[in-house]
Chains A and B, each alone.
Chain A
Amino acid sequence: KQEVTQIPAALSVPEGENLVLNCSFTDSAIYNLQWFRQDPGKGLTSLLLIQSSQREQTSGRLNASLDKSSGRSTLYIAASQPGDSATYLCAVPENTDKLIFGTGTRLQVFP
């Protein structure tokens, strides 16, 4: 059974810092991995989808890496801004039909 862990659980940093959010999963036989952002009281917004054949994906200030063999993914946020404050979730498939989510990293970026 797939289990997903995210560390740290919470992070509070001043604006401008470069950040690293970690995700680990127990079953490395995954098709891909997806990172989401959730704002308070809102649904999930997809940030990045990394295929199993890829090692990383970039979108603007976000870069996500995937190391299947070690069961790890990292989300790197460059030059953080207050607008980046949210909960960040990583998710991997279990079998072919559902995503298993980590419990998230709650990020606060203060001015």
Chain B
Amino acid sequence: GAGVSQSPSNKVTEKGKDVELRCDPISGHTALYWYRQSLGQGLEFLIYFQGNSAPDKSGLPSDRFSAERTGGSVSTLTIQRTQQEDSAVYLCASSFGQGMATGYGYTFGSGTRLTVV
């Protein structure tokens, strides 16, 4: 596609429910990244995919968070048993090759605003 697409754009969920956030990267971009931005905070790295593999999951806050990528394209970030502190904007980015290591920058989607009530 022309850009990185994320859905839904907004999600309100009850505490304790599971949610799935979707990211559709730019066609041909092999690298995909998830970040989280809490209110008034900076961007927090969550996980990095190269193809369907996740060489770096170090930013996932707890075992309630998981992500997968299929076909080297679409990625889903799943949060189980949501808590109020999970409320944030979840941003996805993609890049060609290994992104910053090969000189290509990131392109970000518009994000999913998650509110846990």
Residues from 20 to 59 in B contacting A, C-beta threshold 8 Å: 31, 33, 41-43, 45, 48, 50, 55-56, 59
A97 near B91: Cβ-Cβ < 8 Å: no
Contacts of A41 in B (CB 8 A): 113
Number of interface residues of B (CB under 8 A): 29
Closest to A36 in B: B108
Q: Interface with B: A44-52, A68-76, A78-86, which one?
A: A44-52
What bracket does the count of chain A residues touching chain B fall in? 20 to 34
Distance, CA A91 to CA B102, complexed state (A): 15
A88 interface hit (Cβ, 8 Å): no
A-facing mask of B64-99, CB < 8 A → 1, else 0?
000000000000000000000000000101000011
Given contacts A43-B91, A89-B43, contact A97 B99 (CB under 8 A): yes
Given contacts A42-B110, A44-B108, A93-B101, contact A98 B33 (CB under 8 A): yes
B-facing mask of A92-107, CB < 8 A → 1, else 0?
1101111111111000
Top 6 A-B pairs, shortest CB-CB distance = A96-B101, A93-B100, A49-B105, A43-B110, A44-B108, A101-B43
15 CB contacts below 8 A, A to B, read: A34-B100, A36-B108, A43-B91, A43-B109, A43-B110, A46-B105, A46-B107, A49-B103, A51-B103, A97-B31, A97-B56, A98-B33, A99-B33, A102-B42, A103-B42
Enumerate chain B interface residues (CB-CB to A < 8 A): 6, 31, 33, 41-43, 45, 48, 50, 55-56, 59, 91, 93, 98-111, 113
